[in-house]
Amino acid sequence: MEQAKGWASAVTPDLAAQIGAARSFYLGTASAEGQPYIQHRGGPPGFLRVLDERTLAFADLSGNRQYITTGNLAENPRAFIFIMDYARRRRVKIWGRARVVEGDDELLARLRPSQGSGVAERVILFEIEAWDRNCPQHIPQLVAVEDVQAAVLALQERIATLEAELARARAGG
């Protein structure tokens, strides 16, 4: 990370809301030799949690069994979280240090997503050192399928209501 340049280091209410709504993020780590690695993490909204103003956490679900992220964090705690909110054309970059927590069943149970598949194997704690938002320029506006389906359903229900009202009006009722 470059010098903090006056960037924030504590979670604000707006940042907490963005984190809580995220369905995915990218986690960047590097080996002791500096070899970078980035991995997509996904889950239901709220799977990435704010524990306090400087700590984020998530349940690490079973995946491709390569364990590159956990291996990197064992050698080098420096990490980076990149959250894209395509629907609102916002992105946030979060620099910090992460560590793997194994054997804390209470914390793991607290962080395990209530929906979705996958076995929660461990927790990754992320201590925030700095964060920054970028401008929305060049971010394509994309909307999640679930959000589009909900909007279409609401419109279909409204159309059905209006068609029923129109039919009653035409029938003289």
Question: What are the boundaries of each domain within the chain?
Answer: 13-139, 143-173
Q: Between 32 and 117, name the one with better pLDDT.
A: 32
Give me the residue label for tokens 């239901």.
Answer: 44
Predicted local distance difference test score (pLDDT) of residue 2 = 52
Topology of the domain covering 13-139: Pnp Oxidase; Chain A (2.30.110)
For 29-62, how does the pLDDT look when each residue is reduced to its tens digit (9 = 90+)?
Answer: 999 999 999 999 988 899 999 999 999 999 988 7
Q: Distance (Å, rounded) from C-alpha 99 to C-alpha 19? A: 19
The H-assigned helical ranges of 55-132 are 68-75, 105-111
For residue 1, pLDDT over 60 is answered with no
Q: What's the whole-model pTM score? A: 0.79
**Hey, how many other C-beta atoms are within 10 angstroms of the C-beta on 150?**
11
For 71-110, how does the pLDDT look when each residue is reduced to its tens digit (9 = 90+)?
Answer: 999 999 999 999 998 888 889 999 999 999 998 989 888 8
Predicted local distance difference test score (pLDDT) of residue 3 = 53
Predicted local distance difference test score (pLDDT) of residue 86 = 83
Q: Distance (Å, rounded) from C-alpha 27 to C-alpha 60? A: 12
